[in-house]
Amino acid sequence: MKKTKIIFIFIFCSILILPLISFNIKTDQISEIDNRTLAEFPELNINSIGNFPPDFEQYFDDRIGYRDNIIATYTSLNDNFFGELVHPSYTYGQDGYIFFRPGITVSNFDFLANFANFIKRFQDYCEDRDIYFIYMLNPSKSIIYEEYLPKGYSLNKSDINFFISELERLKVNFYWSAPDLIELANTKQVYNKQFDAGHWNDIGAYFASSNLLNIIKQDFPKIEIPFFEDYLLTYEHKDSLPVSKFPISEEVPILTHPKYQPSFDEKYSEEIMIEKQYPAFSYQKNNIDSELNLLMFHGSYFHAGRNKFIAYPFGTFTNVHNYNNVTNYDYYINIFQPDIVIFSSTDYATNNAYFPTELLDESIYSAPLSLKDVQQIKRNSAWINHNIIKISAKNRILQTSLTYNKEIFTPIKAWCLLEHCNKQFSTRITQNTNDVSEIQISLASQEIFSSNSPKLIIVAQDNKGTMIAQEIFVEIVDEIK
C-alpha cells in the first residue's frame, strides 16, 4: 500500500513538474495548433506594471510545456463524448460544417475608411503610370455558408457594407466575389465543409479568379481564360484540420491544368526586400503566348498554389504576400514594371493587424515627372555625396540608398530616371538608423544592363518648388566586395 502511494505521488508530481520543466522560453514562437504567435515575456517597468499580471498570465498559459498536446487531447475527448469542437480556432456549425470560432467583433469604420483611401491612392499611382489596377475583396466562409453557422449566431455585415460603400464612393475599380460565390454554392462546394475553414477550396478559387479575369479581359481582350473543364479534377483525402490535430475525414478537390508549367526565377527571391513575417514571394515565366506582365499582392486565399488560376494567362507573373508588403507597392512596381496590378484581401483579414495604419499613411507618392522638362533642370554634381554606384552583373535588382548634402539642397520628393529619360522610377526620402537623410532607389538590373551608357539621373524638388538634378554613374562589376 505504501509503495502504491509513493508511485501515485510520483506520478502526480511528474504531471505537475514536467510541463514546467518543458516550459517554452524561446522567442518568436508560433503555435501549430491555433496558428498564432505565442505571447512573449512582458516588459516590467513603471509604465507597464499595471498590465504585467494579465500579460504574464497569458505568457504562462501560452508557454506551458506540452500545451499543444494538452489542447489536442482535450479537444478530441470533447468531440468524441459530447459532440463539441472545443478548439482555439474552430467551432462546429450546423450539418457538420466547421467554421473559424467567432470572436468579439468591434466595428472599426475609421480604419476601413483609411484603408479604402489607401487603395484609391494605390490605384491612382498605377493609373498615373498607365498600369491597370483592380482590387479584389474575397469573403469568409461564414458569408458564403451563413445558413450553416452555429445556431444563434448572427453575422454582422455592417463593416463589409460600409467598406464596399467607401470603395464605390472613391470610384475604386474592385471586384467583391461574395455574390457570385453565394450563387455558385447552390450547385458546387466552393469552400470545404470541414477542412481549412479559413479559405476557399480550388473550385471556389477557380471561379472567383475567372470572374476577376473576365473583368480585366474587358481592357485586355487577348487574355485567354481556361474553362473549368480544362482542369483535371481530383480529390485528396484530409484526416485532420490545418494547424490542428483534430481528426476529420474529407475529400478535398484539387484542380490541375495540364498546360500550366511555370518557370520560377529563384534569384529574385534571394534579393527581394520583403517582410520577414510574411515572406511569400515568387517570380515566374509561363509557357504561354502572352507578353502581359502581372503583379499581384495577395494573402493566403491564393497560397497553396491557388494563384495559378490568376497566373495562367500571363507571360510573366509576380506574387507578393500582401500583409505589410503592399504598402511598398512603389518598390515592387519599380522592379517588375507590370502592365496589370491586382491587390487582393479577405474581409476578415482587412484590419489594422495585417495592414497597420502607420504603414498605410506612409504610402503617399509623387506623380510622375514630366520627362520633357528634365533637360531644363539645373544640374549639380556635388549635391549627392557619391556619384558612382556599383552593381553586380549577377544581380537581378539594383537597390541602394543615396545620401545627400542638406546645405546644398533639401528635397521633399525625388525621382530616378534612366539616362535617356525614357523611363522613370519612384524613390523614397527617408532617415536611416543614424538619422542621415537618404534617397532610396530600386529598379531591375536589366534596365541598367540593356542601356548603352549606364547612368541614372536623380531629380528632386524642395518645398518651394525648386528642382535640381544630378547624374549618377553605375559601374557594373563581377562581384561586389
455: domain CATH number is 2.60.40.10
Residues 24 and 140 placed together within one structural domain of the fold: no
N-to-C CA span, the chain = 75
Kindly report, residue by residue over 10-41, the tens digit of the pLDDT.
665 665 566 666 667 677 665 555 555 677 77
What pLDDT, on a 0 to 100 scale, did the predictor assign at position 271? Answer: 95
What pLDDT, on a 0 to 100 scale, did the predictor assign at position 366? Answer: 84
Residues 351 and 331 placed together within one structural domain of the fold: yes
Q: CA–CA separation, 87 vs 240, rounded Å?
A: 13
Residues 219 and 294 placed together within one structural domain of the fold: yes
Boundary-marking domain end, from 60, 75, 100: 100
What pLDDT, on a 0 to 100 scale, did the predictor assign at position 107? Answer: 78
Kindly report, residue by residue over 85-108, the tens digit of the pLDDT.
555 678 889 999 999 887 656 679
Residues 392 and 285 placed together within one structural domain of the fold: no
Q: Are 120 and 172 in contact (CB under 8 A)?
A: yes
Residues 357 and 375 placed together within one structural domain of the fold: no
Residues 241 and 329 placed together within one structural domain of the fold: yes
Residues 209 and 267 placed together within one structural domain of the fold: yes
Residues 333 and 262 placed together within one structural domain of the fold: yes
10-residue stretch averages of pLDDT, the chain, 481 residues long:
64 61 67 61 69 71 64 57 60 92 77 97 97 98 96 90 98 99 98 95 98 98 96 96 82 96 93 94 94 97 95 97 96 98 95 92 85 82 90 92 93 89 88 86 92 86 93 86 63
With cell 461564414, the residue in question is: 142
Could you tell me the residue range of the domain that residue 343 belongs to?
109-362
What pLDDT, on a 0 to 100 scale, did the predictor assign at position 265? Answer: 92
Total domains in the fold of the chain: 3
Boundary-marking domain end, from 100, 123, 142: 100
Residues 336 and 194 placed together within one structural domain of the fold: yes
Query: Which candidate, 422, 293, 297, 408, places its Cα nearest to that of 368?
Result: 422
Kindly report, residue by residue over 274-301, the tens digit of the pLDDT.
999 999 999 999 999 999 999 999 999 9
Residues 345 and 383 placed together within one structural domain of the fold: no
Residues 115 and 241 placed together within one structural domain of the fold: yes
pTM, full prediction = 0.84
Q: CA–CA separation, 135 vs 341, rounded Å?
A: 9
Residues 429 and 343 placed together within one structural domain of the fold: no
- Collect all residues with Cβ–Cβ distance below 8 Å to 83 and sequence separation of at least 6: 92
What pLDDT, on a 0 to 100 scale, did the predictor assign at position 451? Answer: 76
Boundary-marking domain end, from 315, 344, 362: 362
How do 132-138 and 98-100 pair as beta strands?
unpaired
